[in-house]
Amino acid sequence: MARRERRGLGRSRPARTGGVTGAPLGDAATDGDSATGGDAATGGDSATGPVAPGDGSSPGRRGLSRRGLFAAAAGAAGAAAVGTGGFAAGRASAGGGSSPAVFFGEHQAGIVTPAQDRLHFAAFDVSSSASRENLIELLQDWTDAAARLVRGLDVTEEGAVGGPALKPPDDTGEALGLGASGLTLTFGLGPTLFRDRDGTDRFGLADRKPELLAELPHFSGDQLDAALSGGDLCIQACADDPQVAVHAIRNLSRIAFGRASLRWSQLGFGRTSSTSTAQQTPRNLFGFKDGTANIKAEETGTVDAQVWVGEDDGPDWLVGGSYLVTRKIRMTIEIWDRQSLDEQERVIGRDKGEGAPLSGGGEITEPAFSALGPDGRGIDVDAHVRLAHPTSNDGAKLLRRGYNYVDGNDALGTLDAGLFFIAYQRDPVAQFTAMQRRLAGSDLLNEYITHVSSGVFAIAPGIREGQHIAQALFED
């Protein structure tokens, strides 16, 4: 339990194996620091950005951000080292099996990635005092941290227990030993980042705002809580272990301190969509299979046509990106639960057991909207499956990635529960908005749901090694 061993633990993030007592897992280069003192060997003040002795894995270092969280690899050259060598080599295996490709690439992870089991979603407001440079710095710091987190590593090399004893740890530590657990981190930019509600162009980005990135219109029945809606920036953290997703949002929030603050956040405990043909279709809190007809990663033609922003779509900086719409949809499940099975199935247009369309067949049978099924039932003219179907929407589909949520109960003893809807698309106006107008107008489901939160975000394209989130947005 000497200080040296504790630093070792922080550096290597071993999977929870126990039996580490007394085993010096770290590198020997931290020899010589005292157990109780200011720990001169790693720099008493990390804000001055010393190079940790004996650690040569990061060939270049930039000046640190003002929070001073990134004493180790950071900045362009440092980020390159993250992806290609240094601690990525040999240590990623302790992080639960994710590969470096999960963060750097043509598109951001967490979109066509097979949907993980758990979600922590967070929207942020950039501080009113932050400059364009502060914003860029934040995106750099988030990039550096995210590239580590998705590998199951602490947020910096010093991490939770490897830093100087008299300094707050860089990492909050609750995910030590949990590995990567399939973590993906997906970053988005809200309309207010480009021009705020007062019309101010805070960061010199107004002329780069995508035309399609606009606040969603009011839909019939919307009861949105403004405090739970919008945001300048967002992070979707998905993982198979909720503690890993929570740890990521918490530490990224912490890194943002003074530059951006949490506006609203949402935990989701069960995925309601499949994004791969290898996944079974899960159920929402109405008890129905959800997302049977979702876009799947394997449908690469559909993904290219309906999810990714194309070269001719513009703006250039967003090519390879996407648009994200979030909607928190509260379900009045007690009222739903009092409906007959027939009525529930009429509302959805599918049977509850198997998820087959009422026009017959099995779950993956295409609905036949003018046919009657073997039991004599057809699909109602206002059934959810009909109104949401591509044939009712000029062929438009969405890549959905929603999660069930329960936020406790209200004072009347009814569960505060529903669906946190997440959808990715190439064109939010032609896809989500057009579809939602139709649904808001006459979907039978409207009697049992209320939209209480809304968000729309531009999802920057994938991050190249050595670059930061949305870097092209800030370049000429």
Considering only residues 72-131, where is the footprint of its own copies by CB under 8 A? Answer: 118, 120, 125
Gyration radius from the chain CA atoms: 24
Q: Can you tell me the distance from the alpha carbon of 173 to that of 177, in angstroms, rounded to the nearest whole number?
A: 9
Q: Which of 34, 28, 14 is nearest to 164 (CA)?
A: 34
- Print the binding letters for residues 353-382 with its own copies: x by CB under 8 A, - otherwise: xx-x-x-xxxx---------xxxxx-----
Which stretch in 46-54, 55-63, 106-114, 267-275 sits in contact with its own copies by CB under 8 A? 267-275
Q: Can you tell me the distance from the alpha carbon of 146 to that of 141, in angstroms, rounded to the nearest whole number?
A: 8
**Smallest distance from its own copies to CB 398, Å:** 22
Chosen residue from 55, 270, 332, 464 binding its own copies by CB under 8 A: 270
DSSP state of 469: T
Number of residues that bind its own copies (CB under 8 A): 93
Q: Provide DSSP, 298-332.
A: T-HHHHHHHTSPPTTTS-GGGTT-EEEEEEEEEE-
Residues 217-256 touching its own copies, rule: CB under 8 A, are 227, 241-243, 246, 250, 253-254
Distances in Å between the Cα of 449 and the Cα atoms of 205, 269, 441 are 37, 19, 13
- Print the binding letters for residues 11-50 with its own copies: x by CB under 8 A, - otherwise: -----x-x-xxx------------xx--------------
Residue with token string 């910096």: 156
Chosen residue from 48, 99, 200, 261 binding its own copies by CB under 8 A: 261
Cβ-contact 431, 397 below 8 angstroms: yes
Establish if 262 lies at the interface with its own copies (CB under 8 A). yes
Establish if 348 lies at the interface with its own copies (CB under 8 A). no
Q: Can you tell me the distance from the alpha carbon of 79 to that of 32, in angstroms, rounded to the nearest whole number?
A: 28
Establish if 68 lies at the interface with its own copies (CB under 8 A). no
Cβ-contact 256, 224 below 8 angstroms: no
Which stretch in 164-172, 202-210, 443-451, 454-462 sits in contact with its own copies by CB under 8 A? 164-172
Between 201 and 354, whose beta carbon lies closer to its own copies? 354
Chosen residue from 197, 280, 312, 475 binding its own copies by CB under 8 A: 280
Distances in Å between the Cα of 299 and the Cα atoms of 112, 277, 307 are 10, 9, 11
Which stretch in 101-109, 131-139, 264-272, 310-318 sits in contact with its own copies by CB under 8 A? 264-272
Give the type of residue at 246.
V
Q: Which of 269, 245, 124, 267 is nearest to 181 (CA)?
A: 245
Establish if 1 lies at the interface with its own copies (CB under 8 A). yes
Which stretch in 53-61, 393-401, 413-421, 433-441 sits in contact with its own copies by CB under 8 A? 413-421
**Smallest distance from its own copies to CB 310, Å:** 34
